[in-house]
Amino acid sequence: MPHVPIQKQKSGYQKQATPHDAHGRQNTQMLQAQPECGGADGEDAEQDHAIDAIDAAWEQYGADSAGIVLLGQSFGGLIVLGLAASQPDVPLLGVSTHGTGLRWLPGALQRFQSLLAEAPFVQLPFDENARSLGPANSWVHEARERLKQSRAPLPMAELREVLRFPQRLRQISADVRVPVQMILGEYDTTWESSASALDELSQLFPQAPFVDVRR
């Protein structure tokens, strides 16, 4: 089946179609999109670009597939859940997200709010990202260095959308009608992953036939 991850990049979102045919063979196609962000128009543009990506993946690889699973990391998780809620014209088998939460950890919202400015881009503090790797004995030095090298400025419009993240998730979740998996890291520095927080997340999808929320 085609898996379509949605990953955040420097100036928009990168749609990566990773199809698997009936025999397990895999082909990969990178589908680039750089939507205008900010407010409702930005959200609509993001969804339009993502719909184009999955339509292209299905048209090219869907003949031998049962359907598509959407994968989203961080803000990409919100985008794929929004796609599922919109009920696209392709056979959608499910959604899987990582690092997409509902409850801010203490101080997390304030840290993001403190970065608001008039500049078009903002650089997130590296120590903030590095702490999400967990204790020093749980990762290798090379991983931290790769994370540091991969940093890119965040568009200020996207930062403003991040601040609305929980409200937006609550708006779209009730319309998701496919299986949902949501995973939060134990050492995530943004989203709470307590038992009660995970239970609240799982209750957001009353129409999903299966919901798996864990850390």
Q: Where are the beta strands (DSSP E) in the chain?
A: 2-9, 12-19, 29-33, 68-73, 92-98, 121-122, 154-155, 180-183, 211-214
Looking at residue 101, what is its pLDDT? 96
As to burial, measured by CB atoms within 10 angstroms (0-12 exposed, 13-18 middle, 19+ buried), residue 108 is middle
What number of other Cβ atoms are within 10 A of residue 65's Cβ? 18
**Domain at 138, CATH number:** 3.40.50.1820
Looking at residue 152, what is its pLDDT? 87
Looking at residue 128, what is its pLDDT? 62
Looking at residue 95, what is its pLDDT? 96
For the chain, 215 residues long, give each residue's pLDDT as a single digit of tens.
Answer: 555 554 443 334 344 444 443 333 344 333 333 334 444 555 666 677 778 888 898 998 888 888 999 999 888 899 899 999 998 889 999 999 999 999 999 999 999 999 999 999 998 887 766 677 778 787 888 888 887 888 889 899 989 999 999 999 999 999 999 999 999 988 888 999 999 999 999 999 999 999 999 99
CA angle 116, 120, 121 (to 5 degrees): 70
What is the domain range of residue 162? 2-214
Contacts 24+ apart (CB under 8 A), 109-113: 109/163, 112/159, 112/162, 112/163, 113/163
Question: Which element (helix H / strand E) includes 170?
Answer: helix 165-173
- In the chain, count H helices and then E strands: 8, 9
Q: Count structural domains, the chain.
A: 1
The encoded tokens of residue 178 equal 């496919």
Looking at residue 165, what is its pLDDT? 93
What number of other Cβ atoms are within 10 A of residue 105's Cβ? 16
- CA atoms lying within 13 Å on the CB side of residue 11: 3
Q: Which of 164, 13, 29 is nearest to 83 (CA)?
A: 13
